[in-house]
Amino acid sequence: MSDAEESLKEQEREEYDQDEEDEEEEVEECEKKAHEEESKPRPKTTYVPNIAPPKLPDGEKVDFDDLHRKRVEKDFNDLQGLIELHFSNRQKEEEELVALRNRIERRRSDRAEQQRERAEQERERQARLTEERVRREEEAAKLRAEEEAKKKKMFTNKSFGGYLQKVDQKKGKKLTAREEKKKSDGT
């Protein structure tokens, strides 16, 4: 390889490494943003009515009943806003809980189906293995029986074999002229 080719390959490696680092930095930034958004408290959107602060008259009389009534109204409105916020949050949480329960139930049924299928496959596999083992044992027993039969036959042939073989040999051979003459003279 020439120096130019090596330098090109080196540049490509550096660009590839730089791209990988950039991608890792982007992933880290996204994770940071997501974490920051989760950790920040949500701004509470409470309903605050535009109530003007009570104006005190410039005289000797101060209407404390009016001040008390306005304070009670403000507190009541704040409380109403908090109650609405609480129930809307609770309704969202309830919907999430129902969705979670449905997802859990669906997952359980899927898992039960998978386990049932696996158990069925395992039973079939065990049946095949048992059938194969029985077949092999039968074949082995058959081979042993055949070998035993051969051994018995060989043994029985050996014990009477000497005499029978000689008789067979004599019967099967063509007699020579001398043997024929001997045989005819002897009878």
The answer to whether the predicted template modeling score (pTM) of the entire model surpasses 0.75 is no
Query: Could you tell me the pLDDT band of residue 142, with boundaries at 50, 70 and 90?
Result: very high
- Greater model confidence, 92 or 162: 92
Tokens representing 44? 């509470």
Which residues, 6 or more positions from 70, have their beta carbon under 8 angstroms from its beta carbon? 51, 54
State yes or no: pLDDT of 174 exceeds 90.
Answer: no
Query: Could you tell me the pLDDT band of residue 53, with boundaries at 50, 70 and 90?
Result: low
Contact 84, 47 (CB under 8 A): yes
